[in-house]
Amino acid sequence: MKTAVYPGSFDPITFGHLDIITRASAMFDNLIVLVMDNSAKHSLFSADERVKMIREATANLPNVHVELSHGLLIDYCKLHEIHIIIRGLRAITDFEYELQIAQTNKEMSHGYVDTVFLTTSLQYSYLSSSTVKEFASYHADVSHLVPAFVEELLKEKYK
């Protein structure tokens, strides 16, 4: 059984994330979407809210499981015997950051984990959780960027 983990903040989940999840879930027997609860990052949605949102958004994908981590990604991977990390790449700006993290994770885990990059589908290449929040905070229509129930939750937050 090949299992991969797709870690991220997912604050909130967007159609860009869902595109990566759908494609990765077709490549592996199991895909764990791992919400990283990183105390250094201020998030709009709580970790539990983000887990719940992703579970709802991926309910149609039976081999996708959503979990929460408060610690280091490589510790999670070792504990659960997962060797493959999935990350998405949008633009060259992502590449520099992602390359550094991927190499650090490989080095710090002594080669236990490797990172597989999936390039964004073109229609989502501009899409990020931060821009969704920015637009939603001004009550703009974000229905083409996130699932309808996420848009409703954003409206609640910015009421």
Residues designated as active site: 17, 41, 90, 129
Burial class of 159 by CB neighbour count within 10 A (0 to 12, 13 to 18, 19+)? exposed
Q: Which is nearer to ligand ADP, 77 or 88 (CB)?
A: 88
- The smaller minimum CB distance to ligand ADP, of residues 53 and 109, is found at 53
Which residues pair with residue 115 across a beta bridge? 85
Q: Which of 51, 23, 13 is nearest to 128 (CA)?
A: 13
**Residue 90 Cβ vs ligand ADP, minimum distance, rounded to whole Å:** 5
Positions that interact with ligand ADP (CB under 6 A)? 8-10, 16-17, 20, 87-88, 90, 94, 120, 124, 127-129
The torsion angles phi and psi of 58, rounded to 5 degrees, stand at -110, 15
Looking at the DSSP bridge assignments, the partners of residue 123 are none
Residue 138 beta carbon to ligand ADP: minimum distance, rounded to whole angstroms: 20
Tell me how far, at minimum, the Cβ of 17 lies from ligand ADP, in Å: 6
Decide whether 8 or 84 has the Cβ nearer to ligand ADP. 8
Q: If you search the block for the tokens 């027997």, which residue do you land on?
A: 29
Q: Which residues pair with 66 in a beta bridge?
A: 33
